[in-house]
Amino acid sequence: MEIRYDWQETEIKAIYSTPLLELIYQAASVHRQYHNAKQIQVCKLISIKTGGCPEDCSYCAQSSHYKTEVKPQALLDKETVVKIAQQAKKSGVSRVCMGAAWREVRDNSQFEQVLEMVREVTALGLEVCCTLGMLTKAQAQRLEEAGLYAYNHNLDTSQKYYNTIITTRTYEDRLRTIENVRQTSVTVCCGGILGLGESVEDRISMLHALASLCPHPESVPINILSKVKGTPLEDRPDVPIWDVVRAIATARIIMPASDVRLSAGRAKLSAAEQALCFLAGANSIFSSDNGHMLTVTTPCPDYDADQQMLNVLGLEMRPPFVRAETPNSSFPEKV
């Protein structure tokens, strides 16, 4: 399987619609071509600035547009963040993702504090990812200088369905931030969410948008909606596990060298369901010491439970800074 950037939506739909076990087999084969299938990267998400976000993402507990259980908190201090990261490293975590509920990065003292956090957590020998909202090219460069390894900015859903879910910024805004990150050596983490009420066509369209980015995002999180009380999506039906497996397998086949992350919503999956996701090409999870991924309303399995599951499945935790094994050994450069 070669890395391609010219996928057509009809081709992606044909892959997504392949009989399930055949689809899993194909995805597992591609996975083994590019990755060590015994390894899973375990990531830790730290919410460095929780709640009070001016954006109106319909799924989010942190939006100030909705009445949820999340209480806005000030930016965490650097010492707290470094302590959480040290603890996470001891548990086998190789990537720390620092999230701030901001619309965009501002050039102020808070950004300076985040840059300092990036420097210190990177110095622990961990991959550091930030998700801070929209970003200019100059800000991306400053994060690069601080040692940032990855920047997360998700497309969430299809371009067509996007403004049903978010009205305070556009799909183009998202793409512009990703492009700004691409001007630096910081890698891109970009994926979406299943269960927002989108159609299969919307899922195909989102996967098409991701696979048309050149190069592909090095990291593609596939999230399952965590229904949060008080948000417009609190009553959405559950996403069938078969849809999750199809989306992961399709992402694996069309973006073979990328890490595919089984992200939010994993807490609701059994170990057997997660095993199917790993077989279909997911090679990363988020884990936590307190059973929560991002906020009090986004549960996440804890380190011990995850370690046990990985032991049962014969999987090991991947060390930091391991990249996909392409035939030419490194991740493809921009063409």
Dihedral Cα 30, 238, 261, 49, nearest 10 deg: 170
Biggest CA-to-CA distance, the chain: 53
Q: Does 53 bind ligand SF4 (CB under 6 A)?
A: yes
57 is catalytic: yes
Residues 127 and 95: beta-carbon distance below 8 Å: yes
Query: Segment contacting ligand SF4 (CB under 6 A): 54-62, 218-226, 277-285, 311-319?
Result: 54-62
Residues 43 and 261: beta-carbon distance below 8 Å: yes
Q: By CB under 6 A, what part of segment 96-135 binds ligand SF4?
A: 101, 133
State which amino acid sits at residue 117: M
189 is catalytic: yes
Q: How far apart are CA 233 and CA 107, in angstroms?
A: 33
60 is catalytic: yes
Instruction: Using DSSP bridges, classify how beta strands 316-317 and 187-189 pair: parallel, antiparallel or unpaired.
Output: unpaired
Q: How far apart are CA 29 and CA 160, in angstroms?
A: 32
Q: By CB under 6 A, what part of segment 285-324 binds ligand SF4?
A: none
The least distance separating ligand SF4 from the CB of residue 192, rounded to whole angstroms, comes to: 12
The least distance separating ligand SF4 from the CB of residue 40, rounded to whole angstroms, comes to: 25
By beta-carbon proximity to ligand SF4, the closer residue of 53 and 85 is 53
53 is catalytic: yes
By beta-carbon proximity to ligand SF4, the closer residue of 100 and 280 is 100
Q: By CB under 6 A, what part of segment 57-86 binds ligand SF4?
A: 57, 60, 62-63
- State the alpha helices, DSSP H only, in the chain: 9-16, 20-34, 78-90, 109-122, 137-145, 159-165, 171-182, 200-211, 241-254, 271-279, 303-313
**From residue 231 to residue 270, what is the string marking binding to ligand SF4 with x (rule CB under 6 A)?**
----------------------------------------
The least distance separating ligand SF4 from the CB of residue 99, rounded to whole angstroms, comes to: 7
The least distance separating ligand SF4 from the CB of residue 75, rounded to whole angstroms, comes to: 14
CA distances to 3, 120, 241, 286, 294 from 257, rounded to whole Å, are 8, 29, 24, 19, 27
Q: Does 192 bind ligand SF4 (CB under 6 A)?
A: no
214 is catalytic: no
Which of 55, 198, 202, 218: binder of ligand SF4 (CB under 6 A)?
55
- Contact positions vs ligand SF4 (CB under 6 A): 53, 55, 57, 60, 62-63, 101, 133
